[in-house]
Amino acid sequence: MGLLMVTKEPIILETFNAQSLSSCQLAEVDWMHKWLKENYQLLFEKLNYELIGQEVNVSGSGSEGYLDFLGIDLATGDAIILEVKRDDYKPRDLIGQAIEYAAGVARFSDGKLEQVYNEYSMGTVEASLRELVSDQTNGVTPFNSNF
């Protein structure tokens, strides 16, 4: 099993031996969401990503559902979708869902991304999402520029 980042040039972040959480009698999705949120920096420390939303609604105009986590690449302003899946998920279904989610997020305005960020951070941050990205890109990169 591995962690895979799907980009123009896919990158395997880490490979490891997997054991099903259900075999350990753990609630897989809830546990994994909590674990990912708590260990996000450990997993993605080499990447300049920031989590900005959880259970983000992408419904409408052909996209349906809630993506698990929405992040932003602070170097480029691009949205990052993190989806947690069980080991019994069909790869073809995963690819279709990823395309739908990416299409939904691509339609988000700057204001919608700010709203998602504000709801996720619940007022615990002082800077706006735009300021956070602007600090990293010298103010030249708009959100979702490569979608």
- Alpha helix locations (H) across the chain? 28-38, 40-44, 91-106, 110-121, 129-137
Cβ pair 16, 87 in contact under 8 A: no
Q: What is the pTM of this model?
A: 0.72
Q: DSSP class of residue 23?
A: G
Grouping H, G, I as helix, E, B as strand and the rest as coil, residue 146 is: coil
Grouping H, G, I as helix, E, B as strand and the rest as coil, residue 82 is: strand
Q: How confident is the model over 85-110, as pLDDT tens digits?
A: 766 677 777 788 888 888 888 888 88
**Is the per-residue pLDDT at 44 higher than 70?**
yes
Alpha-carbon 8 to chain mean position: 16
Residue partners of 61: CB distance under 8 A and separation at least 6: 103, 104, 107
Band (pLDDT 50/70/90 cuts) for residue 53 is very high
Domain ranges of the chain: 2-137
Of 54, 5, 4, 15, which Cα lies nearest the Cα of 32?
Answer: 54
Q: How confident is the model over 15-34, as pLDDT tens digits?
A: 545 555 556 555 667 777 88
Band (pLDDT 50/70/90 cuts) for residue 125 is confident
Question: What sign does the dihedral 100-84-68-51 (CA atoms) show?
Answer: negative
